[in-house]
Structure 1
Amino acid sequence: MTHTSVVNRPRLSFWQIWNMSFGFMGIQFGLGLQNANTSRIFSTLGANADEIPILWIAAPITGMLVQPVIGYLSDRTWHTTWGRRRPFFFLGSVLASLALILMPNSSELWMAGTVLWLMDASINISMEPFRAFVGDLLPSEQRTAGFAMQSFFIGVGAVIASALPAILSAFGVSNTADVGKIPDAVRWSYYIGAAVFFVCVLYTVLTSREYPPEDLEAFRREHARVRLSDVFREAYSGLFEMPKVMKQLAAVQFFTWFGLFCMWIFMTNAVTQHLYGTTDTQSKLYNEGADFVGIAMAMYNGVAALFALFLPYMASKLGRKVTHLLCLSAGGLGLISIYFIEDPNLVLLSMTGVGIAWTSILSIPYAMLAGSLPADRMGFFMGVFNFFIVLPQVVASLGLAALARFLGLQPIQVIVMGGVLLMIAGLLSLRISDEENLKPKLPS
């Protein structure tokens, strides 16, 4: 039985979409710190370049386990005050904030890897229901705008988070430390991130409301008991029940996210080695290069935030498939261009293309997917969809370093490979059966 329907949802105002998306800025603050600094922390604690990809595997495995389960549970949750998705927003924000505080206090490599696992589990508890939130509350013609608003806040949060160590360093906070110690600039960035994560999610929890099930009593009878065995059995059965659009998006997502992980995992080593000429993690030059990577990450997220304001218009004119192709191609060319750069400052221009791609990656696939999903399983299928982000990250974490060694690739060449994969993903997006009407419906 479908207890909720998104077909006849009323259009929401700009500020209502703003409020329901604001929490994503906090989530991305946590992810931005993680993406820009995790490899740096691992290197500081003694990991070499070949070990870093395998240490990242905690994040995707956690997402694969957590998101379908959280989606399943949130579909079956209704609280008179908290609603359906908001309890999970709040719980995840509390746990993620604690993990952000713990991460820069890791004294051993195994400890940092464990905290990364805890952090990613917590972030996933908050993040997965946010995707379903858009499908729950917005009519079809506003979904691209809803996911684009999430992209805007993702960009804003990531800009600040990625650049935060460099910003604090500019204000006199130490950016170097003894061997095996995390610099104070990184440490305080995580503390600030913990506070921002919690406050932003709390804002969405307090300012947004959800539609109750159409037949609340029937909903409660059907979902009165949720057994753990049912959770896992039904949560993972979704891989065999995927709608057609979801299957088509799977290939696009695999190549997209494999390309992104090439960048995230190898960007610090690529920039410090290719443009700064050093692999000494204790040197001032290396830390300057690592700080610049944070600035580069901030650049693409800043571009993403601005481009998110234009993306719905572009999608309405060109269609979502062509829009996604063009955006991913811009990102692919941006990554490839880094190979030919000698002046580090020009990397910021390259990252402009990545920012355009990032906006589309965070918006278009989810908007296309939401229109093909049954309303009463929105959270569940959004969680299952995360598999196609997780699988490329698992492959990258387990095999990317070995592949690079086998092919004799330097870190900068892995970045180029990531760019090629983004362009392949763009071409595959043309195969998607996206037939949903993007134009606003006239009142009857």
Structure 2
Amino acid sequence: MEKQKLGFWQIWNMSFGFLGIQFGFALQGGFMSRIFQTLGAEKDAIPLLWIAAPLTGLIVQPIIGYISDKTWSARWGRRRPFFLIGAILSSIALFFVPYSPTLWMAAGFLWILDASINISMEPFRALVADKLPDSQRSYGFVIQTLIIGIGTWIASNLPWMISQLGVSDSAPSGVVPMSVKIAFAIGAFVFLLSILYTIFTTSEYPPEDMEAFKIEKTKKNNFVTDIVDNIGNMPSTMKKLGVIQFFSWFAFFTMWSLANPALTEHVFNNPAPIEASFNFKDPIQLADFQVQNTAFQKSSNLVGAYMGVYGLSSMAFALILVLYTAIRNVNRKWVHMFSLFLGGIGFILMYYIPSPAYLSGCFILIGFAWGSILSMPYAMLSSAVDPNRMGVFMGIFNMFIVLPQIIAALGGINLVSNLLGKETINAMIIAGISLLIAGLCNLLITDKHAISYQIKEGN
């Protein structure tokens, strides 16, 4: 079936739901460690508390991709039913996360939240490949990245903006401040609303051969066997991209889980106070704890705001690519390589900056890497796999995202960063080195069709 080229606003509408998805991910990535610390988690334990996120992705995304490939409704299409289910569950989880009274409940809500976001996210990746001709794949994924950048920047700044409006950052021991609670409630609302916008403004192509599709649906397939078979038959380019993804996502998981303790401690000099060090029955010590805790919470707001800068720079990166890829081909391999190099430099510079103001520059560089990670690998992948199995391959590709995160959560970050010393900021150096390795791994990609789709026939 010949797919027609779509205009900017058509692609914008079909990708707009990613605004809500990124609100969820940005609030989770920017403030989940803060919630854990507020509830008494020690720094070394934080990566393990995050393990729910990659584990759910490992399980959920291939399954959702497989099921959505075999779904069709004349009214709701193939991918949109999963957008809606994920949006409803994610919105509920987002609202209740900051009200967790204990660490185990916060970790449990993270599990539910990440599983729900994954239900919506994987079909969005497949939808771009479903709807767009190959010549527009880079363009489509870059517009998706533009929307993700907008969502990252706004959501990362929400607690700080709400605090500026007069909402308190102070809270008793073990209680998440109201500024964070309101931010997560806003995120829940935006998540649901943006997904609904895409659902009601976007149509989907039916299966090319409806009769063959119906026959395939009646077969009693074992989806586990099918997924394993697809893993065994991965295209060579997909495997090479997987190596790049491994090091890329190890770096970003390190940032999400440890940037808050690392930067509040090393850059702001306001680490989270350790409750066991205070006697709350002593009014002087109680007051001292409250002062230190409020300073930590305010510094955490600023860490979140600075992290939002990487969303802003990824948005600028995506906007430049949108303008370029609308009229010309782009060499995806070289763009991705140099973007990852810039991100790696941004992480390493965090160790050396003399004041918090320089964090903006670090996160601008990281944003270039983030913008490329969200677009170039998927554009290369979508040009290298069977269109009829796009959903399941997008889900399987997610394995290369979640496996490094699981390894990092199970002690990989602590093990490697401790080789440099006990300071938490060393984790950011490891993130930088990991991105530099990911950049070099782009040299493995040799498939010319994946590197740069040629629009003219015969090229």
Identify the match of residue 284 of structure 1 among 279, 290, 294. 294
Query: Paired residues, what number?
Result: 435
- How big is the shift at 1:272? 0.9
Determine which of 144, 150, 153 is the counterpart of 1:156: 150
Aligned-partner SS, 2:127 = helix
Residue number in structure 1 paired with 2:396: 384
Classify 1:318/1:84 alpha carbon distance in 2 versus 1 (closer, same or farther; 3 Å).
Answer: closer
Name whichever of 212-221 and 63-72 sits farther off. 212-221
Moved more, 302-311 or 190-199: 302-311
Identity %: 47
Deviations 1:210-241 (A, max 9, x none): 110122132112113666xx122322433211
2:320 maps to a residue whose letter is F
Partner Cα separation in structure 1 for residue 194 and residue 164 of structure 2: 26
> What is the deviation of 1:47?
0.5
Note the C-alpha offset of 1:401.
2.1
- How many Å apart are 1:409 and its aligned residue? 3.7
Question: Is contact 1:21–1:150 with CA below 8 Å preserved after alignment?
Answer: yes
Partner of 1:242: 234
Q: Which runs of 4+ in 1 moved over 4 A?
A: 312-318
| Residue 439 of structure 2 corresponds to residue 426 of structure 1 | yes
User: How far off its partner does 1:283 sit?
Assistant: 2.2
* 2:57 aligned with 1:63: yes
Q: State yes or no: 1:300 paired with 2:313.
A: no
Structure 2 Cα separation of the partners of residues 429 and 19 of structure 1: 31
In the alignment, residue 369 of structure 2 is paired with which amino acid? A
TM-score, normalised by the number of residues in structure 1: 0.95
Residues in 2 aligned to 1:318 and 1:9: alpha-carbon distance in whole angstroms: 21
The aligned counterpart of 2:384 is: 372
Root mean square deviation, CA, Å: 1.7
Distance 2:96 2:340 in 1: 35
Q: Does 1:435 align with 2:440?
A: no
Query: Which whole-Å CA distance do the structure 2 matches of 1:313 and 1:67 have between them?
Result: 31
CA distance in 2, matches of 1:407, 1:425: 20
Contact kept? 1:296, 1:348, Cα under 8 Å: yes
The 2-side partners of 1:382 and 1:276 are apart by: 40
Task: Judge conservation of contact 1:334–1:419 (CA < 8 Å) in 2.
Answer: yes
* Distance (whole Å) between structure 2 residues aligned to residue 130 and residue 317 of structure 1: 23
The answer on whether the counterparts of 1:25 and 1:153 sit within 8 Å (CA) in structure 2 is yes
Alignment correspondent of 1:44: 38
Question: How far apart, in 2, do the equivalents of 1:314 and 1:331 lie?
Answer: 21
- Asked if 2 retains the 8 angstrom alpha-carbon contact of 1:236 and 1:384, the reply is no
| TM superposition shift of 1:431 | 1.4
Partners of 1:48 and 1:163 in 2: CA distance: 25
Q: Report what 1:265 is aligned to.
A: 257
Tell me by how many angstroms 1:364 deviates.
Answer: 0.1
CA contact (8 A) 2:170 2:177 kept: yes
Which letter maps to 1:322? W
Correspondence for 1:345 among 357, 360, 372: 357
Gaps of 5+ in 2: 274-291
Q: Is 1:108 paired with 2:102?
A: yes
> Alpha-carbon deviations, 1:370-395, whole Å to 9, x = none?
01111111000000000001011001
Distance, in Å, in 2 between the alignment partners of 1:386 and 1:159 is: 24
Q: Which moved more, 1:356-365 or 1:404-413?
A: 404-413
- Indicate the larger mover: 430-439 or 360-369: 430-439
Task: Indicate whether 1:274 and 2:266 are aligned.
Answer: yes
In the alignment, the residues of structure 2 paired with residue 100 and residue 434 of structure 1 have an alpha-carbon distance, to the nearest angstrom, of 41
1:251 corresponds to which residue? 243
1:320 and 1:434 in contact (8 A); partners too: no
Partner of 2:277: none
Instruction: Provide TM-score, normalisation by structure 2.
Output: 0.92
Deviation at 1:126, TM superposition (A): 0.1
Tell me which of 414, 417, 438 is aligned to 1:401.
414
1:90-109 residue pairs with structure 2 within 5 A? 90-109=84-103
The answer to whether the aligner puts 1:417 opposite 2:430 as a matched pair is yes
**Hey, what's the Cα distance between the residues in 1 that align with 2:226 and 2:218?**
16
Alignment CA distance shift 1:289-1:242 (3 Å): same
Please tell me whether the aligned partners of residues 93 and 201 of structure 1 are also in contact (alpha carbons under 8 angstroms). Answer: yes
Q: What SS is found at the alignment partner of 2:44?
A: coil
Q: AA paired with 2:305?
A: I
Kept in 2: contact 1:107–1:181 (CA 8 A): yes
Q: Read off the aligned partner of 1:169 and give its amino acid letter.
A: S
Residue 334 (structure 1) aligned with residue 346 (structure 2): yes
2: CA distance, partners of 1:313 / 1:324: 17
